[in-house]
Amino acid sequence: MKLRKIILPLFTAFLLCITSFLLISCGDRNLLPMTGEDGSFSYQVIRPDISSETILDASVDIKNALRDHYEIEPIIGTDWIHPSTGVADFPEIPTEVLVGLTNRAESQQVYEELADHEYTVRIVNQKIVILGKSDFGTKLATAYFIENYMSGDRAGEIPQDLHYVKEVDYMYTYSLSGSGAEKYDYSVTVATLQGLYNRKAEHKLYITTGEIESSSKALSILSSDDRYLSEVERVKIANRDELFALTGDCIETVVIWDTAVPATVNVATTIAGVENGIVMTYEQYEKTKASLPDTVKTVDLRNKFDGSETGSAKNDAYRWAIREYLETGRCTTAYMCSFEDAYYARERGGIRYTVCRDAAVYYGAFVFDLSVWADEVPKDDRTQRMGLDLETYELILSTMQKVRGNDSLTEIMGFFPSEKYCLNGNDETWESKYYGTQFEWDAARIFTPYGCYWNPVTEYACNVTFHNAYELATPLQQNRPTEQITLDRDENKVYLLLCMGDYDSTGSLYTKMLLNWNNEERGTIPLAWSFNPNLIKHYPDIVEYFYETATENDYFVSNVGAAGWYTPSRVPSDQWEVVAAHHTKYFEMTDISVAPDIWDYQTLSPMAEKYITSFATTGAGTLVSNQLNRGTGTPTTPHKAENGSVIDALCNSFDRNDAVKCAEGWVKEIQKRDRDGNATFMSVRCVWCTPAHINDCIEELEKQMPNRDIEVVDPFTYYRLLGESMEK
């Protein structure tokens, strides 16, 4: 028994050794022999004679991988055969790496077996077939082969039964074109269709247009350097018929708007979001209806609104929509859209507030365009009674608050057309006593008590419904200063914090920050990039791109308001908990703790300061203005809040076109802020400019103040040093 106990383990071990030997031997015999019996490399790389740049690059990548591993110079050739002689430049041999759709039988066989959007790496008759149903698929197949079979410790170990197949992730792209009213009408249709389709589509639709540089730039950026779109194939939709063939099944409703009542394009967009529809003119519908599913119903707004209710067809339309869609709870309470209607835009072919309608439909938002003035009629509706637009605006706000309750907030997406409501941009036939800046401030004053905050400039902010599908892999984390600067109290010392804004809205983030960020002088001095962190809901991939490509001199702070623009002095006391929770959520998501650009008619009240510093834990800055004589206009005196957060006053002097004028304004502001016996601190709002322009402004400032020691610092250092300077 004792002997048996010894022999059995030995026999078991012997069997394990034999099994392992057999497995290894079988494994060796199952590997594709890449070299001949004499050890020479036996494969040649073949690509199609007529190849795209993608296939050319792929074949060269394969060649280089083989060369690096086998230390030889492999043959790389094409499948070309002379049409008259039938002689090939590179005669077929049994051992080949076939890249792309060559005329070899193995390539042809595999291609026929591939489904749309698939790619494969497969061994057929001792040949390595690297092929996709598209060139993009071949590119991914090449990368897979190199990474898995020509890299690492097991490079060159290719199973003879290798048969790897995978589907390419893909997206659809469509390019807008045209001019005038036709372009306006069609862009409304396409954008609303995009919003509807992208609600549920696995493979999203992306719109490009030559008028919006960032619509192509964003794709280029997010497809570079192994970013997530680098492995997503773009399937181009060639024309309108193809577009409706792709998306038609999702359309349940066509909403026909009345071109005689420009506001109905907004009402139609509201209905489309609720009724799973798209927006068209009647002429468009007549041309397109044959391409639509038979089950599609229509909602026709023509001749529906004539002013019989309020004296204004425009206001009649919105009040009907309030009753039918907002008051009944059919619209989302998370968003509303203040989108320019068709009054001016259609005739001009202006698409600034057409391309962003995908978001309105996607979210199911209420859409409107109204004035805030009680004592001036708007240019687009001169016969309405005074203040009617404002009454309807406040009816929308109060209805939204009633439906939503006070436990959450509503984001208002979109600005206002100055041409209709302000002096800006108007001709001599129209007089207004108000400027656009005054409209901005008054709009925020009006909507804040109703639990709303602003994402103002959404013009040209297209493809929100493509980008918002991106899921952040990890929480965002920004830089912290690596050098601990010691406070210099010398009176000649000037500490500057440069806040690069105004990126408080989807439109400015998408069309301006995306372009200004890619400037060769970024990173030369500390800059605080100022954007509202709630925008991460709409463009998460673009925000992530900023964080991932930030240099050690790039930092992030919030912009106007904080996580959205609002007026702190107008927040009801019982709403502050909800307001603070909203801001805290987005500040934590983006690792932001500085809010340097809070706008109000007066300095922060103790309650406002308490809640604002609960999320702006490093520091906050205020821009106090006496717009329309509604506030005190008294600037904030720098001080520390109870929790240690530092409160500062923001400098609003800046010229984004002229560095000399900009520096002149800064000199005056610095002189105002000078303190006896201490250094001077100034945080500056720098609007829509490049780092190169900022460097020019600093250089000019140093020329104009040669006796001052000017140092640009990051936001964390700025508020720390400002706090220390207050200590005796």
**Residue with token string 């229509």:** 298
442 shares its domain with 551: no
pLDDT digits (tens, 9 = 90+) for 542-569: 999 999 999 999 999 999 999 999 999 9
617-626 per-residue burial string, b: 16 or more CB within 10 A, e: under 16: bbbbbbbbbe
Task: Provide the CATH number for the domain around residue 61.
Answer: 3.30.379.10
pLDDT at 17 over 70: no
Residue 1 has pLDDT above 70, yes or no: no
**Alpha-carbon dihedral of residues 300, 351, 252, 467, nearest 10 degrees?**
-160
Residue 425's pLDDT is 60
More confident site: 275 or 40: 275
- Average model confidence (pLDDT) for the chain? 93
Residues 450 and 368 occupy one common structural domain: yes
pLDDT at 25 over 70: no
Domain boundary among 400, 433, 467: 467
Domain boundary among 167, 197, 223: 167
Q: Is the pLDDT of residue 38 over 90?
A: no
Residue pLDDT, tens place only, 145-176:
999 999 999 899 999 999 999 999 999 999 99
Cβ neighbours of residue 645 under 8 Å, at least 6 residues apart? 613, 616, 617, 618, 619, 620, 719
CA distance 247 to 465: 15
DSSP-based three-state secondary structure for 452: strand
Predicted local distance difference test score (pLDDT) of residue 13: 40
**Span 292-345, pLDDT tens digits:** 999 999 999 999 999 999 999 999 999 999 999 999 999 999 999 999 999 999
239 in the same domain as 218: yes
pLDDT tens across 569-605, in order? 999 999 999 999 999 999 999 999 999 999 999 999 9
The reply to whether 150 and 250 lie within a common domain is no
Q: What is the pLDDT of residue 36?
A: 84
Q: Between these two residues, 631 and 396, which has the higher pLDDT value?
A: 396
**Residues in Cβ contact with 5 at an 8 Å cutoff, skipping those fewer than 6 apart:** none
Q: What is the pLDDT of residue 26?
A: 40
Structural domain of 55: 44-167
Closest of 566, 518, 520, 528 to residue 684, by C-alpha: 528
Count CB atoms within 10 A of the CB of residue 549: 15
DSSP H/E element including 723: helix 715-725
Average pLDDT over residues 87-112: 96
- 167, 132 Cβ separation under 8 angstroms: no
Chain segment 388-417, per-residue pLDDT in tens: 999 999 999 999 999 999 999 999 999 999
What pLDDT score does 29 carry?
55
Share of the chain above pLDDT 90, in %: 90
**Residue found by looking up tokens 């399937």 in the block:** 235
Query: Could you say which DSSP state residue 560 is in?
Result: S
Residue 655 lies in a domain: yes
Tell me, yes or no, whether 541 lies in a domain: yes
pLDDT at 540: 98
Number of structural domains, the chain?
A: 3
Question: Does residue 692 share a domain with residue 626?
Answer: yes
- Are 513 and 649 part of one and the same domain? yes
Q: Is residue 27 part of a domain?
A: no
Pair 534, 421 in one domain: no
- How far is the C-alpha of 374 from the C-alpha of 379, rounded, in Å? 14
Q: What is the pTM of this model?
A: 0.91
Q: Are residues 175 and 163 in the same domain?
A: no
Structure confidence at residue 427 (pLDDT): 54
Whether residue 487 lies inside any domain: the answer is no
The whole-angstrom distance between residue 448's C-alpha and the CA centroid of its chain comes to 26
Do residues 340 and 234 share a domain? Answer: yes
- Vertex 576, ends 575 and 578: CA angle to 5°? 70
pLDDT of 430 reads 66
- Do 446 and 318 share a structural domain? yes
Residue range 520-548: mean pLDDT, rounded: 98
| The two three-digit tokens of residue 112, written as one number | 């026929």
From 136, 141, 102, select the one nearest 121 (Cα to Cα): 141
Residue 23 has pLDDT above 50, yes or no: no
Mean pLDDT of 339-367: 97
Q: Are residues 340 and 460 in the same domain?
A: yes
Which domain CATH number covers 701? 3.20.20.490
**Which comes out higher in pLDDT, residue 479 or 17?**
479
Average pLDDT over residues 211-215: 95
CA 83 from centroid of its chain's CA atoms:
52
Co-location of 412 and 338 in the same domain: yes
**pLDDT given at position 6:** 33
Identity (one letter) of the amino acid at 101? L
